[in-house]
Amino acid sequence: MWALVIQRIFFDFLLDFVYFPLWWYTAGIKRALIFVIQLFKDGNLYLAPGLWLKNIFVPMFGQHDLQGRLISFFMRFINVIGRTIALLLWLMVCIFIFCVWPILPVVVVYMFFQSMF
């Protein structure tokens, strides 16, 4: 019985070892893409430049006089610009994370062989 268990474990190990690259570049990359898209959506929900842009002409703190409206407009305008820049930077981070995914196994194998020799 022990021989059968060890044979089964060894066979599963070899099958997983062979299947890993196939999974990494098919189903794994699809999961990474879904993760990165969700990461960007979360960043958009957190920064919400569209919401600030939608309310750009609404006076802040109920200040309906001219000075309050001007200050509110410019403060929201600066907020929209800053949040849009931050969201674009976050998009670049998300794209970088996705681009690292296919390269990572190659780097790990290279480092493994580099450390052996």
Type of residue numbered 30? K
Give the pLDDT of residue 110.
94
- Counting the structural domains of the chain, the total is 1
Instruction: Please name the amino acid found at residue 78.
Output: I
Neighbours of 113 (CB within 10 A): 9
The yes-or-no verdict on residue 18 having pLDDT over 90 is: no
What pLDDT does residue 15 have?
Answer: 84
For residue 31, give the amino acid letter: R
Containing domain of residue 35, as a range? 2-116
Give the pLDDT band of residue 96 (cuts 50, 70, 90). Answer: very high
What is the pLDDT at residue 54?
A: 93
pLDDT per position as a tens digit, 39-77: 999 999 999 999 999 999 888 888 889 998 999 999 999
Mean pLDDT for 106-117 is 92
Check if the beta carbon of residue 69 is closer than 8 Å to that of residue 55: no
